[in-house]
Amino acid sequence: MELTFSGAVWHWRGPSPYYFVTVPEDESALIESVSAAVSYGWGVIPVQAMTGATEWRTSLFPREGLYALPLKDAVRRAEDIEQGGTVAVRLTLQLP
């Protein structure tokens, strides 16, 4: 399953600070519909993500009924992504 969307970058200031982009409602609903088949525990969904020319493997985290895509520092630096900016993302979920 491949999904494309755009979203604003936000910063999690918890014990492990990190930057994320939230997967929009419609795309999150599609992911949720296959989550039982692709999750490897506590709702985490492994994906291949791409923004700009940068591609990486990561996992989506469930958050407030949607999913959050973590943006590694290397990805943010390579694509000049800052908090509050909007990024276009392509996600690929590997379905069984």
Instruction: Report the relative pairing of strands 45-51 and 2-12 from DSSP bridges.
Output: unpaired
Q: Give the pLDDT of residue 96.
A: 62
pLDDT score of 26: 96
Is residue 78 domain-resident? yes
The domain of 52 spans: 9-84
* pTM for the predicted model, two decimal places: 0.90
**1: in domain:** no
CB count in 10 Å sphere of residue 84: 9
Check residue 14 and give its pLDDT.
74
Would you write out the chain's pLDDT as a tens digit for each of its 96 residues? 999 999 999 998 877 779 999 999 999 999 999 998 888 878 899 999 999 999 999 999 999 999 999 999 999 999 999 999 999 999 999 776
The SS3 of residue 39 is coil
Measure Cα distances from 84 to 20, 45, 91 in Å. 10, 24, 20
Which amino acid makes up residue 52? G
Please report, for residues 2, 32, 34, 82, 91, the alpha-carbon distance to residue 29 in angstroms, rounded to integers and kept in the order given. Answer: 13, 5, 9, 27, 14
* Total tally of structural domains belonging to the chain: 1
Greatest alpha-carbon span in the chain: 35
Q: Does residue 4 lie within any of the structural domains?
A: no
Residue 14 falls inside a structural domain:
yes
Whether 59 is in a domain gets the answer yes
